[in-house]
Amino acid sequence: MRSRFCFSGLLALVFPLALPAQVTVPQIPFTQFKLANGLRVVLSEDHTLPVVTESMLFNVGGRDEHPGHSGFAHLFEHLMFEGSAHAPKGVFDHLVEGYGGNDNASTHEDYTFYYETVPSNVLPTVMWLDADRMAALDVTPTNMKNQIQVVEEEKRLRVNNAPYGPLFYVDIGEAAFSNWQNAHPVIGSFHDLNAAKLSQVRQFFREYYAPRNCILTIVGDINTAKTEALVKHYFGWIPNRGKITPVNTVEPPPKAKTETVTDPHAKVPAVALAWQGPVRDTKDFYALTMLGQLLFNGASSRLYQSLVKKNQVALEVGGGLGFPGADFTDYRSPGLFAGYVIYKPNATPEIIKKLVFQQIEEVEADGVSPAELNRLRTAFASSWIHSEQTTLNRNQLLALATLFSGTPAAANSELAHFMAVTSRQLEHVARTYLTPERLAMVSDLPAPAAAPPGKTPDAGRSTGGAQ
């Protein structure tokens, strides 16, 4: 089983630095071009260390799957390491790790990301490996069957048999969205995976893993001109194949919804609250991101101080824009602003809801003081700048900017938009988006296990019972 790398954790786990609220963001140098086959390429030269990170970001995630094919995007996260025409199974990891490098991948709602970080002199080998699996992945009946079993075991561990796993991976999305494209979990269902046909899986590869649907990003100790020539040599010959069938992700206007699910693995109850969010790269997007940091991020956040410290009804809080499937870095509309509270038995979902709305209404009524806003900006900026220290993080910033904003330049300009958010804008997004009329609330209550030994049903609603 591949361990899944998730960028959303990077900004949350860094140590804050002492920075003023107004900062000059270190600019990531880059060159971009497109090959004749449609492959978008971003190069960033940096000789600080003799290391380079190459990534392939494919513009396909769980949201692009069609009904009956849930989990296909995540399945390919695994199949892409199972061998290709000239690099049989095991060769990829053997070469990357043998040269002292590392590789991994992750599947998201809107994209799938693969990367390798290696000594810079190994870059041609990595290019050859990536080009070979883009051109001629070895999708065999044996590989498909084996990796479906791996994915199903991952789902048992991360979702079905994990406390609050169904709540985070399944229930919140199904409650907050009406359109199946947005509501179904990225990890898919046992039913769809077991029903998958080899021809369907191969067709998915032909459609979505063509050069025209990929962003190749290379960051680190490179010579830009020589690397561009290498990219053209290794990737320029790969033809496109298949034709993507577009999906409709439009959501109807959200309505209030309250549901209750049971969780045999949870020891204490939890509640999740979710609202549909704004379009990306708008003023509301930047403001709601900052409001999420204010409400949920760390022990100094308003909800932690209110629920855990002051009222002592909660054990843990978390959330923000993009939660639970992502965060603001890979948020795309339709998306969620959501949070969760794991609370003590002396509270109820309604008490938690009341306390959460109390904090939201305080922002609506009074805004945020200059001192608190300065602290918020400083913590956010320090995390952002700290995240740019590695070739991997800079690589993903450039790749995501290219995907979501249409240009890698957004990686250099986006922080300024967050720093420009005002108290009035925080008031506006709280009043506009975080209303009771738009709220989907899911209560997760501990319950005895219902499934017989050895059988684990798909995670889902309490009536029946990723990434």
Architecture of domain 25-235: 2-Layer Sandwich (3.30)
pLDDT band at 7 (very low <50, low <70, confident <90, very high): very low
| pTM of the full structure | 0.91
Q: Which residue type, as a one-letter code, is found at position 142?
A: T
Cβ-based burial of 9 (10 A; exposed 0-12, middle 13-18, buried ≥19) = exposed
Residue 457 — pLDDT band, cuts 50, 70, 90? very low
- What pLDDT sits at residue 454? 55
276 within 8 A of 256, measured Cβ to Cβ: no
Q: Region 59-80: what's the mean pLDDT?
A: 97
Establish whether domains 25-235 and 257-446 are of one fold: yes
Q: What's the one-letter identity of residue 355? A: L
Q: Quick one: pLDDT band at residue 1, thresholds 50, 70, 90?
A: very low
Q: Give the residue, 467 or 163, on which the prediction is more confident.
A: 163
| 322-327 average pLDDT score | 92
pLDDT at 23: 62
pLDDT at 380 exceeding the cut of 60: yes
Which residue shows structure tokens 């361990």? Answer: 3
Report which of residues 438 and 242 the model is more confident about. Answer: 438
98 Cβ neighbours under 8 A, 6+ residues apart: none
| Residue 26: per-residue pLDDT | 83
Taking 90 as the threshold, does the pLDDT of residue 60 lie above it?
A: yes
More confident position, 242 or 274: 274
Cβ neighbours of residue 143 closer than 8 Å, sequence gap 6 or more: 79, 82, 83, 89
Residue 17 has pLDDT above 50, yes or no: no
Evaluate whether 333 touches 269 at the Cβ level (below 8 Å). no
- 414-451: pLDDT as tens digits: 999 999 999 999 999 999 999 999 999 999 999 876 55
Ordered by start, the domain boundaries in the chain are: 25-235, 257-446
Percent of the chain with pLDDT over 70: 91
Cβ pair 53, 392 in contact under 8 A:
yes
- Structure tokens, 415: 């922080």
| Average pLDDT, rounded, for the chain | 92
Pairing type for strands 214-220 and 40-45 reads parallel
pLDDT computed for residue 431 by the predictor: 98
- What dotted CATH number matches 257-446? 3.30.830.10
With b for 16 or more beta-carbon neighbours within 10 A and e for fewer, the 368-396 pattern comes to beeeebebbbbbbbbbbbbbbebbbbbbb
- Residue 460 in this model has a pLDDT that exceeds 60: no
Question: Which helix (DSSP H) or strand (DSSP E) does residue 340 occupy?
Answer: strand 336-343
Whether residue 6 is predicted with pLDDT greater than 90 in this model: the reply is: no
Give Cβ neighbours of residue 446 (< 8 Å, ≥ 6 apart). 262, 263, 264, 266, 267, 268, 269
What is the pLDDT averaged over residues 5-10?
A: 34
Mean pLDDT, range 90-109, rounded to an integer: 97
Nearest by Cα to 321 from 290, 300, 352: 290
List the single range of 195-204, 287-296, 457-466 with lowest mean pLDDT. Answer: 457-466
Mean pLDDT computed over 242-251: 94
- Cα gap 173→183, rounded to integer Å: 5
